[in-house]
Structure 1
Amino acid sequence: MGFTIEKQMVFLGLVVLFPLLCTSQNTFTSSRATYYGSPDCYGTPSGACGFGEYGRTVNYGNVAGVSRLYRNGTGCGACYQVRCTNPQYCSDDGANIVVTDYGEGDRTDFILSPRAYAKLAKANLALELFAYGVVDVEYRRISCKYSDYNLMFKVHEHSRYPHYLAIVILYVAGQNDITAVELWQEDYKEWRPMRRAYGAVFDLANPPPDSITLRFQVSGSAGYTWVQSNNAIPSYWKAGAVYDSTIQLT
């Protein structure tokens, strides 16, 4: 069932309060990283993934824009451990980040929020690392684990009832990618594909007039599989509403 306006506000608050917990599996790849300006050191709500406020505050604002790892939007929401390689200034663990944007730099794979970039440094050496601007790093993809959250989807603010529906996918756990979204067309008794508009946003013109059931194609360690949401979007949906799919990805 949908969230009320009050619950939506609580939901956005919880995004800030709950950290992202990660476990790693892959080997490291060499690259470079830099950072972007931000008045509060968080991410940006206007990122290319379409996450809005979620993309600004998720994981305490430890987020990044990526270039080739963006993968035409499929990489949105993926988690990585990034650590710089200068032994004088760099910490051993580096930063665990969430991809929320697209960005290109000087041969960089990561353009980090200031919060994430500061975590690359040893204690009390962040200013010295910021002075470099661009640093050599190594990274690996890690599993995202969100405390108390299933896979969720939000009716994007650009949606216009009843003629245009767009949704944005949130809280993709594990080392999984959402590669496709379909909705059930009851009058034709078939699944109807939604278009990846950009980033993590999928859309469809002239959606069915009744309640809308979604299923998601998930790409992970087990290959490709379809999982269906147990919560339907009600027939009189509104932009900004957030729904829990009840799907728990691992």
Structure 2
Amino acid sequence: MVRFLPFLYYCFLAITIALSLSCQATNDEWVTDAHATFYGDMKGGETMYGACGYKDLYSQGYGLETAALSTALFNNGSACGSCYEIQCINSKWCKPSHNTIRITATNFCPPNYTKTVDIWCNPPQKHFDLSLKMFLTIAEYKAGIVPVRFRRVPCVRKGGLKFLLQGNQGWYLVLVFNVGGVGNVADVKIKPSNSPNWMQMTRNWGQNWQFTKNLIGQSLSFQVTTSDGKIVQSNNVVPANWQFGQTFEGSKNF
């Protein structure tokens, strides 16, 4: 029996390692049927607003390491905040260094059904509209458009989850950003200080979540769930004397 226990231990260890490697291989799978173009100049050109609701990509920590996603990837806004690794492939215009870039989904590349050419963002095509800076990291400017492969990667963020409060006295719109982990938020709940219960918020657009009730004068807590089912709770992250237009940062992230 004494000799049998070490045998069981090593069997268990081998199975654990095998499962770990299997999961890692699945997470690292590349999707190859995609393309990428660019917009603007080296300074950006589309760094404010957009279909995900981010107000200023620089001040909110995203900068030019961003992309607008085609319909097939955008998924009605639920992909906002997700992160991707992208590499140029199968083109003479790919940089010989075979660089990869990591970007955050911050906007939507709308389809154009009135044209028969340059319809890269039309369904069912997978497409990334990159900032010029990101495009030039993987391909030559003269290419205009290149085939790429991509995969989801974890989002690395500094600090905690951030909440921008917008709206009016009876209607609240909260932008959730600086989200780590898988990056895209699937569910948000709110709890004002005078309530013992968490209350459901609904997606308005992009990563803007809405709630209809007068919460003036109460501190607010948020429970954020990302698309992989993980939850971060930010208790009393918003003080009772908050005002619309203010941003508050929690102590935790994914």
TM-score (norm 1): 0.75
Gap runs ≥5 in structure 2: 1-25, 111-118
One-letter identity of the residue aligned with 2:30 = F
1:152 counterpart residue number: 162
1:112 lines up with 2:153 in the alignment: no
One-letter identity of the residue aligned with 1:109 = H
Supply the distance in 2 between the matched residues of 1:57 and 1:116 (Cα, whole angstroms).
Answer: 18
Matches within 5 A, 1:1-250: 25-30=27-32, 31-38=34-41, 40-41=43-44, 43-54=46-57, 58-67=61-70, 68-86=72-90, 88-91=92-95, 92-104=98-110, 105-106=119-120, 107-121=125-139, 129-146=140-157, 148-156=158-166, 159-160=167-168, 162-184=169-191, 189-209=196-216, 210-220=218-228, 224-249=229-254
CA contact (8 A) 2:73 2:126 kept: no
One-letter identity of the residue aligned with 1:101 = N
Query: Percent sequence identity over matched residues?
Result: 25
CA contact (8 A) 1:29 1:139 kept: yes
CA contact (8 A) 1:82 1:140 kept: yes
Query: Which of structures 1 and 2 has the larger relative contact order (alpha carbons within 8 angstroms, sep 6+)?
Result: 1
CA contact (8 A) 1:34 1:108 kept: no
Determine which structure has more spread, i.e. the larger CA radius of gyration: 2
Gap change, CA 1:40 and 1:225, over 3 Å in 2: closer
Give the C-alpha shift of residue 25 in structure 1.
Answer: 4.4
Q: Per the alignment, in what secondary structure is the counterpart of residue 61 of structure 1?
A: coil
The runs of at least 4 consecutive aligned structure 1 residues that moved more than 4 Å come to: 185-188
Deviation per CA, 1:164-208: give whole Å up to 9, x if none: 221111111122431111112565632211121100111112243
Q: Per the alignment, in what secondary structure is the counterpart of residue 81 of structure 1?
A: strand
Give the C-alpha shift of residue 108 in structure 1.
Answer: 4.4
Supply the distance in 1 between the matched residues of 2:129 and 2:239 (Cα, whole angstroms).
Answer: 38
1:20 counterpart residue number: none
Give the C-alpha shift of residue 117 in structure 1.
Answer: 1.0
Q: What's the Cα RMSD here?
A: 2.4
Supply the distance in 2 between the matched residues of 1:187 and 1:219 (Cα, whole angstroms).
Answer: 29
Supply the distance in 1 between the matched residues of 2:87 and 2:59 (Cα, whole angstroms).
Answer: 21
TM-score (norm 2): 0.74
Q: Per the alignment, in what secondary structure is the counterpart of residue 133 of structure 2?
A: helix
CA contact (8 A) 1:169 1:200 kept: yes
Q: Per the alignment, in what secondary structure is the counterpart of residue 54 of structure 1?
A: coil
**Residues paired across the two proteins, number:** 212
Gap runs ≥5 in structure 1: 1-23, 122-128
Gap change, CA 1:136 and 1:39, over 3 Å in 2: closer
One-letter identity of the residue aligned with 2:39 = Y
Deviation per CA, 1:21-79: give whole Å up to 9, x if none: xxx94211011111123472354302110111136874441210002222222211111
1:15 counterpart residue number: none
One-letter identity of the residue aligned with 1:32 = H
CA contact (8 A) 1:32 1:134 kept: yes
Gap change, CA 1:58 and 1:186, over 3 Å in 2: closer
Q: Per the alignment, in what secondary structure is the counterpart of residue 136 of structure 2?
A: helix
One-letter identity of the residue aligned with 1:242 = T
Supply the distance in 1 between the matched residues of 2:199 and 2:146 (Cα, whole angstroms).
Answer: 45
